[in-house]
Amino acid sequence: MATTFANKKPADTAAAAPSGPLPITQDAPRRRRRPVVVGAGLALAAVGALVAVWQVDEAGNRVPVIALAHDVKAGETVQKSDLVVAQVAPDAALAPVPVSRSGDIVGKTAAADLPQGTLVTDASVNEGTPIAKGRDTVGILAKPGQLPAQRLHPGDEVVLVHTPQDDAEASKSTTQEAPDSISAVVVGLSSQDANGAVVVDVAVAGTDSPSLATWTARGAVTVVLKAAS
């Protein structure tokens, strides 16, 4: 016997998908901003603004002062060409000389070695005429024992005593009542070398420079610092 099945539709058959484009809506979900993040952003923006204002203010407060365009040795006369303008923020601890007072610096002598870029102060120079003006400058290679342990400075008054090393000169000097000596003024000093020797530039009268140069070549001179008057 033949069995006949009737065509039946499942009860849970899904509804047909809608045909045509989906409608566009303006009601999209929005992300909610956290108050903490917003506050942090505003704080950072405020700090950045304050820093910018401070930098502009500092730049506006810079003043023109005098600096060294190149090295100037102790005792040398400061020339106009030695000076250059530098822009710095005011600082009472530095006390640099303003550009308006450059005339007070030109023509004076350096109180110490002034490296390039150094800000010039009133203490950087000495009053009066150059130390070596009208005198000859002679360099003395002084080894330990030929100069005081106290460091010399430009402008110091010294006595250069002839101290011969060989027997012939020594015997000749013993017949004299006092050793030969020359008055001088220190112009500048070098740094110590590996053996502790220092080159001392001294200003002496033109009549004394030949004798001093001879003593120096023989290493027969001792530098004596005169007592302060």
- For residues 95, 98, 101, 103, the Cα torsion angle rounded to the nearest 10 degrees is 100
pLDDT at 213: 95
- Enumerate residues 6+ apart whose C-beta is below 8 A from 74: 110, 111, 112, 113, 114, 153, 154, 187, 188, 189
pLDDT at 73: 80
pLDDT tens, position by position, 154-168:
888 999 999 987 655
pLDDT at 175: 56
pLDDT at 42: 63
Spell out, as residue ranges, where the chain has pLDDT lower than 50: 1, 3-6, 11, 13-14, 53, 56-57
pLDDT at 1: 47
pLDDT at 131: 72
pLDDT at 69: 93
Bridge-based pairing of strands 83-88 and 109-110 is unpaired
The Cα 155–Cα 113 span in angstroms is 13
pLDDT at 166: 67
Contact in structure between 160 and 215 (CB atoms under 8 Å): yes
- Enumerate residues 6+ apart whose C-beta is below 8 A from 200: 139, 140, 142, 147, 152, 186, 188, 189, 190, 223
* pTM greater than 0.85 (yes/no): no
Q: Which residues of 168-181 are buried (b: 16+ CB within 10 A; e: fewer)?
A: eeeeeeeeeeeebb
pLDDT at 21: 59
**Which residue from 122, 208, 112, 125 is spatially nearest to 159, judged by alpha carbons?**
208
Which tokens hold the place of 128? 């009066």
The Cα 142–Cα 196 span in angstroms is 9
pLDDT tens, position by position, 111-159:
778 899 999 998 888 876 667 778 999 999 999 999 998 888 888 899 9
